[in-house]
Chain A
Amino acid sequence: MKLLKVLAVCITVLAMAALTMAGTLEDVKAKGFIQTGVNGSLFGFGKADNKGVWKGLDVECARAVSVAVFGDPDKLKFTPLTAKTRFTALQSGEIDMLFRNCTQTLSRDTALGLDFGVVNYYDGQGFLISKKLGVKSATELDGATVCVLPGTTTEQNVADYFRTNGMKMNPVVIENTAELAKAFFAGRCDCLTSDASQLAGTRAVAPNPGDYMILPEIISEEPLAPAVRHGDNKWKDIVNYSVLALINAEYLGITSKNVDQMLKSDNPKIKRFLGVTPGIGKALGLDEKFAYNIVKLIGNYGEVFERNVGVNTALGIERGLNALWTEGGLMYSPPFK
Chain B
Amino acid sequence: METNIEIVKPPITNVGVIGWIRENLFSSPLNTVLTIIIASILWFSVIPFLQWALIDSYWLPDSNCKETNGACWSIITSNYKVILFGFYPQNILWRPITAIIMLVSLLIISRNRNWWNAYLGYSWLAGLIIMGVLLKGGILGLEAVDIEKWGGIILTLLLSVFGLTAAYPLGILLALGRQSEMPVIKTFCVFYIELIRGVPLISLLFMSSVVFPLFLPEGMSINAILRAQVAIIMFTAAYIAEVVRGGLQGMNKGQFEAADSLGLNYTQTMRLIILPQALKIVIPPSVSILISAFKDTSLVVIIGLYDLLKTTQSTLSDPKWMGFSAEAYIFIALIYFICCFFMSNYSRKLEKELDTGL
Contacts and interface: CB of A to CB of B under 8 A. Distances in A.
Given A85-B209, A205-B322, A315-B319, A93 B219 contact: yes
Contacts of B314: 40-41, 47-48, 80
B320 interface: yes
Contacts of B89: 52
Nearest to B316: A178
A159 interface: no
B214 A50 contact: no
B214 A314 contact: no
B23 interface: no
Q: Which 10 A-B pairs have the closest CB atoms?
A: A92-B213, A314-B319, A178-B316, A82-B304, A41-B314, A205-B322, A21-B219, A94-B221, A50-B79, A41-B317
Contacts of A185: 323
A79 interface: yes
Interface stretch (B41-49, B80-88, B267-275, B340-348): B80-88
11 contacts: A42-B317, A47-B318, A48-B314, A49-B318, A50-B78, A50-B82, A84-B206, A84-B302, A85-B210, A88-B209, A207-B323
B317 A17 contact: no
Contact of B81 (A52, A78, A92, A93): A52
A41 B82 contact: no
Chain B interface category by residue count:
35 or more
Nearest to A113: B214
A207 B72 CA distance: 14
A19 to B, nearest CB: 9
A269 interface: no
B220 interface: yes
B331 to A, nearest CB: 15
Nearest to B323: A205
B219 A17 contact: yes
A157 interface: no
A298 B325 CA distance: 33
Contacts of B217: 14-15, 17-18
Interface residues of A, number: 44
A145 interface: no
A181 interface: yes
Contacts of B90: 51-52
Interface string A71-111: 00000011111101100110111100000000000000000
B319 A43 contact: yes
B304 A182 contact: no
B224 A94 contact: yes
**Most chain-B CB neighbours within 10 Å: which of A50, A177, A205?**
A50
B82 A182 contact: no
Nearest to B301: A82
Contacts of A80: 304, 306, 314
Contacts of A92: 213-214, 216, 221
Nearest to A48: B87
A176 interface: yes
Interface in B302-329: 302-304, 306, 310, 313-320, 322-323, 325
A40 B325 contact: no
A171 interface: no
A298 B90 CA distance: 24
Given A82-B303, A85-B209, 18 more contacts: A17-B220, A21-B219, A41-B310, A41-B317, A48-B82, A49-B82, A50-B82, A52-B81, A78-B87, A82-B302, A84-B210, A85-B303, A88-B210, A176-B313, A182-B323, A185-B323, A202-B322, A207-B323
Interface string A180-222: 0110010000000000000001101101000000000000000
B218 interface: yes
Contacts of A202: 319, 322
Contacts of A85: 209-210, 303-304
Interface string A278-319: 000000000000000000000000000000000000110000
Given A52-B81, A92-B214, A205-B322, A178 B220 contact: no
A237 B90 CA distance: 35
Contact of B319 (A48, A79, A93, A204): A204
A204 B66 CA distance: 12
A179 interface: yes
A43 B221 contact: no
Interface string B192-206: 000000000000001
